Structure 1
Amino acid sequence: MTAQIGGAGTVLAEEQVRDFVARQLAGPEFDGRSVCLVVPDGTRSCPLPLLLSAVHEALYGRVTRLTVLIALGTHAPMGEAELAVHAPPLPGMTVLNHAWWEPSEFASVGTISADRVGELSGGLLRQDVDVRLNRAVVEHDIALVIGPVFPHEVVGFSGGNKYFFPGVAGAEIIDLSHWLGALITSAEIIGTRGITPVRALINEAASLIPSRRLALCVVVESGSGRLHAMSYGPPEDAWSAAADVSAEVHVRYLDRPVKRVLSVIPTKYEDIWTAAKGFYKLEPVVADGGEVILYAPHVRTISEMHPEIEQIGYHCRDYFTAQWDRFKDLHWGVLAHSTHLRGAGAYDEVNGERCRVNVTLATAIPEDVVRGANLGYLNPADVDLAACEADPDTLVVPQAGEVLHRLRGSTA
């Protein structure tokens, strides 16, 4: 059963947040148990200090152990100073980065067979996958996901069981799920309600976790961190309730496509690996042959943790599938990221690669690195925000990366 508070037209007060958390966590199922809180990193808008404080207030003294696990996926770890702000220390609460680079951090909870993967993916993929995740999850009695729900380029809407896979998962299930999303394409899956093939795969993996799974899903007012809504219950149900609200507040509809987008990237995205969300959320409204400019003067690298993306560059899906023997042994998660930022397109040996939209970086990344990665370059000093805002052919999107833009009449 799912409990919910708030909605699309609501902004919750702190007292309402604390009261909701206290009521949901008051049950005896937590008493004498160990609890792992799986939470987002700093790339997600979320009033995490408030939520953790409310959960701590409800559980401290009742549980045997309380661990906060930062769901990095494969993002860079958060430093001590960052963590002190992101998840402020509280008595009896341990805060850990998901150390995805350390093999000893993982426990295997089972295997999804090739036949089952084929069923879940609609026949797009067919191979066994070892389901590994951070052992902290399985070494606690209860795993409680706490985090926001937004439109998402790989799964449709983020949140829920996605905090386990890929949030604290091993490379095998990350690569498989992300490549499945890439095969479907970001433009096709982003903002899609219901159980997408990737969500189905994630839910199947989560069903193997031996700990009891619960989720406190929140819908955040993008740019402010205030909450529209909260839902609590089994991850599948709490996520679904939150995704319904997110679909109302995190999707902006345009009447016609635009020629150019200036996507202003907030500083919480520190490299293109994360800043690329400023493209994913805008690709659907750009006209054929149009351009998305990622304006991020603070960004100095394509990916701190995945330098191989500079070697393969950014390409459409068909570039990889038409040359699969050349690329199949690379991390599929890296290939997926490449396709998501390059967007829709086609490739064949005769005509080469033809992408629907041009992608330009206006960052502190050197021009030779940008062009070497198959992206356009623009000196950020040459970007005139006022002129762009006055240009009828240009859509300027501040704080890009969370609100999906769609054309009115498109299906979701």
Structure 2
Amino acid sequence: MNNTVVGADRIGGPGEILDDAQVREFVLRCLAGAELDGRSVCVIVPDATRSCPLPLLLAAVHEALDGRATRVTVLVALGTHAEMTEAQLRLHLGGPYAGCTVLNHEWWKPETLVTLGDINADRVAELSEGRLRQPVRVALNRAVVEHDVCLVVGPVFPHEVVGFSGGNKYFFPGVAGQEIIDFSHWLGALITSADIIGTRGITPVRALIDQAASLIPSRRLALCLVVRSGTGELHAASFGPPEAAWAACADVSAQTHVRYLDAPARRVVSVVPVKYDDMWTGAKGFYKVEPVVADGGQVIVYAPHITRISAMHPEIEQIGYHCRDYFLKQWDRFSHHHWGVLAHSTHLRGAGTYDPEQGERGRVTVTLATGIPEDVVRAANLDYLDPSSVDLDLLAAEEDTLVVAQAGEVLYRLR
């Protein structure tokens, strides 16, 4: 079905599956009317940690822009993830596409970034609902400002930092400098993953991201998508300004990517797919199930293929995994660390309390059944389980145990 959502055009919806021809026609139609003739276009896309049929979509985008755009650059929104190799990019993006340049967002190289300005302390306090009051510098990949138009192409899922991913999140943190990445993630951690994940509408983190995006001088457009989790099939697609296109797909994602349980589970086993190749990304298997675990219960993150905690952030192994209040009540000890690392720490440890005398108490137990060595797991303040001892069929047969296949994209909640 076709929908007009205040500035966005949408096809599909909850329970629908679009065929390739529908998707191609939609992309061609939307871009045909987007006044792109004689413009340079930067196409911003996700990395391989997101389910998305990029070969289909980029082929249609390339067809729509061929002979019209003066140049096209495809920029992979890594955030602070590891860069993709040429072989990985070919598989992930399809192509090659004649006349297109493909770039990783090299967030670790200052020369690839440009500063757009600051969001002042009073505005930060307003956007964060009083949680933070200090200025933050807004920097992002210079390719964004060196093109006339920026086209975001990417999916919308429930998200542990912002509520629902997608839209302007592909700029911040997708192709941003580390300061605002850390800042936005710590704001989400202050709210806590369990409270913000799957929250509809403009959350404080989304408000901060939208404010930062308003400083981008290039014209911003977005092709947002609702992907059938773990596949290349699309439930819906929307096109328009990032704010409107995102909102149209977030409405569908909220009806598509959330499963409701009538009662909490004592144990949840999250089976993490191989697209998450370290615990930094594979931790989504915890985020998406934390809300349905009973107090005192356990989450087993089952991922024998994961052999390290983080490819890009070894700092997390020194800090370990702790609840939010562990850091807040010892802020002098931890404030100098990257706030994005502290945020990730709280997201995987989940809700809990900390008292200097009583110590730290997590609401649930987090157990890694991965290829990460036991001493590394325990030193990081998590429980260890030998993955070879895990029998998924036996666990699934146990009363009060939930086994989640292809974990990381679908959110589980209590009714």
Q: Determine the C-alpha separation between the residues in 2 that align with 1:168 and 1:227.
A: 24
Which position in structure 2 is the counterpart of 1:279?
Answer: 286
CA separation of 1:28/1:3 partners in 2, compared to 1, >3 Å: closer, same or farther? closer
Q: Please give the secondary structure, in 2, of the residue aligned with 1:270.
A: coil
Q: Please give the secondary structure, in 2, of the residue aligned with 1:99.
A: coil
Q: Are 1:302 and 2:309 matched, yes or no?
A: yes
Specify the code of the residue in structure 2 equivalent to 1:407: L
Deviation at 1:110, TM superposition (A): 1.1
Q: Are 1:51 and 2:57 matched, yes or no?
A: yes
Which position in structure 2 is the counterpart of 1:176?
Answer: 183
Q: Is the 8 A contact 1:87 1:95 kept in 2?
A: no
Specify the code of the residue in structure 2 equivalent to 1:379: D
Matches within 5 A, 1:101-112: 101-112=108-119
Matches within 5 A, 1:129-278: 129-278=136-285
Q: Is the 8 A contact 1:153 1:189 kept in 2?
A: yes
Q: Please give the secondary structure, in 2, of the residue aligned with 1:118.
A: helix
The correspondence for 1:18, drawn from 6, 24, 38, is 24
Q: Are 1:92 and 2:102 matched, yes or no?
A: no
1:2-47 deviations in Å (ceiling 9; x for gaps): 1000000210000000000000000261000000000000000000
Q: Are 1:361 and 2:368 matched, yes or no?
A: yes
Q: Determine the C-alpha separation between the residues in 1 that align with 2:163 and 2:91.
A: 30
Q: Are 1:67 and 2:65 matched, yes or no?
A: no
Percent identity over the alignment is 73
Q: Is the 8 A contact 1:301 1:365 kept in 2?
A: yes
Q: Please give the secondary structure, in 2, of the residue aligned with 1:42.
A: coil
| TM-score (normalised: structure 1) | 0.99
Q: Are 1:35 and 2:41 matched, yes or no?
A: yes
Q: Please give the secondary structure, in 2, of the residue aligned with 1:30.
A: coil
Q: Determine the C-alpha separation between the residues in 2 that align with 1:156 and 1:150.
A: 9
Specify the code of the residue in structure 1 equivalent to 2:403: V
Specify the code of the residue in structure 1 equivalent to 2:49: T
Deviation at 1:92, TM superposition (A): 0.7
CA RMSD of aligned residues (A): 0.6
Gaps of 5+ in 2: 1-6
The correspondence for 1:288, drawn from 292, 295, 301, is 295
Q: Determine the C-alpha separation between the residues in 2 that align with 1:265 and 1:123.
A: 36
Q: Please give the secondary structure, in 1, of the residue aligned with 2:275.
A: coil
Q: Determine the C-alpha separation between the residues in 2 that align with 1:90 and 1:147.
A: 18
Q: Determine the C-alpha separation between the residues in 2 that align with 1:27 and 1:265.
A: 41
Q: Determine the C-alpha separation between the residues in 2 that align with 1:338 and 1:389.
A: 28
Q: Determine the C-alpha separation between the residues in 2 that align with 1:307 and 1:239.
A: 33
Q: Determine the C-alpha separation between the residues in 1 that align with 2:158 and 2:26.
A: 24
Q: Are 1:76 and 2:82 matched, yes or no?
A: yes
CA separation of 1:405/1:28 partners in 2, compared to 1, >3 Å: closer, same or farther? closer
Q: Determine the C-alpha separation between the residues in 2 that align with 1:175 and 1:10.
A: 37
Q: How many residues align?
A: 408
Q: Are 1:314 and 2:316 matched, yes or no?
A: no
1:357-410 deviations in Å (ceiling 9; x for gaps): 1000001100000000000000000001110111112100000000000000xx
Q: Determine the C-alpha separation between the residues in 1 that align with 2:34 and 2:410.
A: 38
Q: Determine the C-alpha separation between the residues in 1 that align with 2:100 and 2:14.
A: 33
Deviation at 1:61, TM superposition (A): 1.1
Gaps of 5+ in 1: none
